[in-house]
Chain A
Amino acid sequence: MPAERSLGLTLVLSEITVLFRRLRTWAMIGALALIPILIAVVVRVASDGSASGRGPAFLDSITQNGLFVSLTALTVAIPLFLPLTIGVVAGDTIAGEANLGTLRYLLVAPAGRLRLLLVKYAGAALFCLVATLTVVVTGAIIGALLFPVGPVTLLSGDTVGITGYFGRLLLLALYVTVSLMGLSAIGLFISTLTTIPVGAMAATAALAAVAQILGALPQLEWLHPWLFTNYWLGFGDFLRQPLVWNSFLDNALLQFGYIAVFGTLAYGRFSTKDVLS
C-alpha cells in the first residue's frame, strides 16, 4: 500500500505546513521566546550582585552563568504558558476544521478518520517540541549574550562542560515535550466533542490548571500519581550526577496512559459522530 502510506505522509506534511503558516502559531512561539528574554533582561538590569534565595529556581545562578536562563524560563513556562499554548493548538485540531467547514472536505479524501486523528495529533506533538525548544534555545542565546558563560554546576555539586550541559538540555526539552503529550491527547479528545474551537482550547488549558491545583493539595495525596501534571517539574533529574531516570520513566508511562485513554476516547467519538460541517 505505498500509495496510502504516501497519502499519510502528505497529510502530515500539509498539516504541519498549515500549522506553522498560521500567524497565531508564530505569535505563540514569539510569546514563549519572550519569557527567557524578559527574565534575562530584568535580571541584567536589576542585578545588584546579591542572591536573595527567592523567586523561581535557578534565578540566582543566572548572574554567574547565563546558561541558567533556559532553566529559569522553563520553570516559569511549564505551569502556565506552555499548557496554554498547547491547549490552543490541541483544542483547535478537530473543532477548528469543523468550525471553518473544512472538516467534511478533509474526510472526502480517502484518508479515514483514524488517520486524520493521528495526523492532527502528530501536528500537536510537534508543536509541543517546538514550543519547548523555543524556550530552551532562546534562553541559552540570550543568556550567553548578557551574562558570562562557563562550565555548569549541577544540582549534585558536580560540574559539567558546556557540551555536556547542552546534551542534558536536549534531554530536558525531550522530557518536557513528553510531559505535554498527555495534555495534547486530552485536547484532541475535547476538540472532537465540539465545533467551537475556543471552547475546546479553554477547556484544555483549564484542565491543566485544575490538575495542578489538585496536585498542590496534600489531602489528595493518593490522587497525585495519577495526575498528568504530577511529573511536570521532575525535569531536574537531568541536572543530577549520575543521571536519574526514574522521573522520566514514570512520566513516560503516565503520559502514555493518558494518550491511550484519551486517544481511544477521541477515536470512539470522532469515528461515530456525524460530521455536518
Chain B
Amino acid sequence: MNKNWRWLPAGIVPVVIVTAAVSGSAIAQAQPQLPAKTAQELLEFVATSTDDAYSGTVEQSSDLGLPDLSMATPPGGTSSSDPTSTALELLTADHTAQVYVDGPDRARVQVLDQLAQRDVVVTQDDVWFYDSSTNEATHAVLPDRDAAKAELEAALQQKAAEYPELQNVPRTPAELATMFLAEIDPTTEVTVDGTSRVAGRSAYELLLTPEDTATLIGSIAVAVDSETGVPLSVTVQAKGQEDPAFQAGFSAVDFSTPDAALFAFTPPADATVTEVPTAEEAKARMEAKDEPAAAEEPVVLGEGWSAIVELPAGTAGKLGVTPGSGGAAGMSDIMDIKPGMDPQEVAGAQALLDQALTEVDGGNALQTSLVSVLITDDGRILTGAVGVDQLAAAAQR
C-alpha cells in the first residue's frame, strides 16, 4: 500500500506559508490610484491636518553606517540620566512606538522597549516624561499658549506698522505652502512622486531632493495620507547607500479620537520626579549666578543642505576633549564619564568611540551616512550633512 500521500500535508503547508508571506508584501507594495496633486496642493493639504486626532503604531529603523550601539549599552536600556546617550540611542537603534494624537495640543508617545517603556505625554499645560526601567519621571510646565500667542500677535502688529512687508506673514495653509515652496525651491526640488500604501492606507509621496551636490542627503520622502493629509512615513536616503539611512512610519493607524484618559498622566507613587525649571526661572537663576552669556555663538558656514555649523574653540575643551591628544584616550572624556559608573559600561563606550572615530588631517572625525562631525586639534567642533573632507576644508579657513 502506498502511504506516501500522507506526507502531502507536510509539503503543502510550507508552500502555503511562503505564498502568503510573498503575496502579503506584494499587496503592501501595490500603488493605489489617486487623483493627481501638485506639490503646492499637497503641502496645503498637510498644513490643514494639524487639528486631526489619530493613533497608531510607528516603526522606526536607521542605518547610519555606525557600529551597533546596542552592544555597548547594558541590556535593559540606556542610562536615561544622560540625555545625550538617550537621544543617540533613540536615533540609531530600531524602535516601535504607540502614538496618540488629539489635535495640536495633546499627544502621547510610548516607546515600547522589551519589558520596559518610555512615555512622553504632552498636554496644553505641561509635558511628562516617564521611563519605566529607572522609574523616573520628568515634568515641565509649558508657558501659557494663549498668552504667548497674544503677545506674539501684539508684537507682530507693532512691527507690521513699522515694516509694511511684514503684513504678508502667512496665515492660511495655502499661504504657508507657498512660502515654504518659495523658501526651499532654490536648493531643493519638491515633487509629488506617485502614490504608495502605508499602514493599509493610500498615500501621496512627497519627495524633497537636494540640488546641492555637496550634501550627503540623497532625498527625503514623506508619505501623506490621501484622505486626511497626515504624514504617515518619512524616509531619508543617503547618497551612495541603498538602504534608507533613516525610516519612520506608521505600521497601523486609526483616525478616531483617542481616549482622553491617555493624556492625563500621574506619575507612580514611588517614582523619582524631577521638575524642569520654566524659562523664567532658568533666566532668573542665571542672573542670580551672574553668569555671562555664552561668549561665542556657533557660526553657520554656507547655506542650504550643505551648511556647516562651527562651534567655537574651547567647546571641545569644555566637553573634556584634550586637544592634540587624539585617539580614543582623549575622546573617551566626551562621553561624560562620571565616578561610580559601571566600569564595563565605560569600557564599552570607549571601545565604541575607538571604532567610530577616525583620525584625519587636523583632528578626529566621525562619519555617518548622513552627518559628519569633525573635532579639530584646536578644540573646535564642526558638523554638517556633508563629507568629512568638506568639514576639514571649512576648518582650514
Is A244 located at the chain interface by the 8 A CB criterion? yes
Q: Quick check: is A265 within 8 A (CB to CB) of the other chain?
A: yes
Q: Chain A CB within 10 Å — which of B17, B70, B132 has the most? A: B132
Q: Which of A155, A240, A242 has the most CB of B within 10 A?
A: A155
Any chain B CB within 8 A of the CB of A272? yes
Residues of A contacting B135 with CB < 8 Å? 51, 61, 153
Which of A58, A218, A237, A268 touches B112 (beta carbons < 8 Å)? A237
Which chain B positions have C-beta within 8 A of A234? 114
Contact B9 A272 (CB under 8 A): no
Contact, CB under 8 Å: B117 / A240: yes
Q: Is the CB of B268 within 8 A of A153?
A: yes
Tell me the count of chain A residues lying within 8 A, CB to CB, of chain B. 33
Q: Mark A218-240, 1 if CB is under 8 A from B, else 0.
A: 10000000000000011011011
A267 contacts the other chain (CB 8 A): yes
Min distance, Cβ A168 to any Cβ of chain B, angstroms? 14
> A155 CB to closest chain B CB, in angstroms?
4
Determine whether the beta carbon of B7 is less than 8 Å from that of A155: no
Within 140-158 of A, Cβ neighbours of B (below 8 Å) are at 153-157
Q: How far apart are the CA atoms of A237 and B259 in the complex, in Å? A: 19
Q: How far is it, in angstroms, between the C-alpha of A156 and the C-alpha of B266 when the chains are bound?
A: 11
The answer on a CB contact under 8 Å between B6 and A75 is: no
By the criterion CB–CB under 8 Å, are A261 and B10 in contact? yes
Contact of B270 among A53, A153, A154, A268 (CB under 8 A): A153
Contact with A along B1-45 (1 / 0, CB 8 A): 001101111101110010000000000000000000000000000
CA distance A102 to B6 in the complex (A): 24
Chain B residue nearest to A53 in the complex (CB): B134
Max count, chain B CB within 10 A of own CB: residue among A51, A64, A264? A264
- Asked whether A268 lies within 8 Å of B6 as measured between CB atoms, the reply is yes
A244 to B110, CA, bound (A): 11
Bitwise, B263-300 to A at CB < 8 A (1) or not (0) is 00111111100000000000000000000000000000
Residues of B within 8 A of A156 (CB): 110, 117, 119, 130, 132
- Decide if B98 touches A157 in the complex (CB within 8 Å): no
B12 to chain A, nearest CB (A): 8
Q: Judging by beta carbons under 8 Å apart, are A271 and B3 in contact?
A: yes
Question: Is A54 at the interface (CB under 8 A from chain B)?
Answer: yes
Residue of B nearest to A150 (CB): B269
* Closest partner residue, chain B, to A265 (CB atom): B10
Given A157-B268, A260-B17: A267 and B6 interface contact (C-beta under 8 Å): yes
Q: A157 is contacted by which of B112, B114, B271 (Cβ under 8 Å)?
A: B271
- The 8 Å CB contact of A57, one of B7, B9, B116, B130, is B116
B262: Cβ under 8 A from any A Cβ: yes
The answer, yes or no, to whether B68 is at the interface (CB within 8 Å) is yes
Distance in angstroms from B82 CB to nearest chain A CB is: 13
A155 near B116 with CB under 8 A, answer yes
A50 within 8 A of B: no
A265 to B14, CA, bound (A): 10
A163 on interface, CB distance cutoff 8 Å: no
B74: CB under 8 A from chain A? yes
Mark A255-273 against chain B: 1 for CB-CB distance below 8 A, else 0: 0010011001101100110
| Min distance, Cβ B101 to any Cβ of chain A, angstroms | 15
CB distance from A189 to the nearest CB of B (A): 9
**A157 and B134: CB pair below 8 A?**
no
Q: Which residues of A contact B116 (CB under 8 A)?
A: 57, 155, 236
Is A159 an interface position by the 8 A CB rule?
yes
State A103–B74 Cα separation when bound (angstroms): 50
Q: How far is the CB of B291 from chain A (nearest CB, A)?
A: 33
Docked pose: A61 CA to B115 CA in angstroms: 13
Which one, A233, A246, A257, A271, contacts B115 given CB within 8 A?
Answer: A233
Given contacts A54-B74, A157-B271, A218-B68, contact A246 B57 (CB under 8 A): yes
Bound together, the chains give a CA A264 to CA B14 distance in angstroms of 10
User: B317 within 8 Å of A by Cβ?
Assistant: no
Tell me, in angstroms, the Cα distance from A139 to B259 when the chains sit together: 33
Contact assessment for A155 and B117 in the assembled complex, using a CB-CB cutoff below 8 Å: yes
Contact status of A268 and B17, CB under 8 A, knowing A54-B74, A156-B110: no
Which residues in window 308-365 of B have CB below 8 A to A?
A: none
Q: In the complex, A216 Cα to B42 Cα: how many Å?
A: 43
- Closest A residue to B9 by CB, please name it: A264
A234 to B112, CA, bound (A): 10
Chain A residue nearest in CB terms to B131: A157
Q: With a CB–CB cut-off of 8 A, which chain A residues contact B98?
A: 240, 242, 244
B304 at interface by CB-CB < 8 Å: no
The distance from the CB of B242 to the nearest CB of chain A, in whole angstroms, is: 15
Does the CB pair B10–A155 fall under 8 Å? no
Residue of A nearest to B12 (CB): A264
Q: List 30 A-B contacts (CB under 8 A).
A: A54-B74, A57-B76, A57-B115, A57-B116, A58-B115, A64-B270, A75-B115, A153-B271, A156-B110, A156-B132, A157-B132, A157-B271, A159-B269, A218-B71, A236-B116, A236-B117, A239-B115, A240-B98, A240-B112, A244-B98, A244-B112, A260-B13, A264-B13, A265-B10, A267-B6, A268-B7, A268-B9, A268-B10, A271-B6, A272-B3
Residues of A within 8 A of B (CB): 51, 53-54, 57-58, 61, 64, 75, 153-157, 159, 218, 233-234, 236-237, 239-240, 242, 244, 246, 257, 260-261, 264-265, 267-268, 271-272
5 closest residue pairs by CB, A with B: A268-B7, A264-B9, A155-B117, A153-B268, A264-B10
Task: Given contacts A54-B76, A157-B267, list 14 more A-B pairs with CB under 8 A.
Answer: A153-B270, A153-B271, A156-B132, A157-B119, A159-B266, A242-B262, A244-B112, A246-B57, A260-B17, A261-B14, A264-B10, A264-B12, A271-B6, A272-B3
Residues in B lying within 8 Å of A, measured CB to CB = 3-4, 6-10, 12-14, 17, 57, 68, 70-71, 74, 76, 96, 98, 110, 112, 114-117, 119, 130, 132-135, 137, 252, 259, 262, 265-271
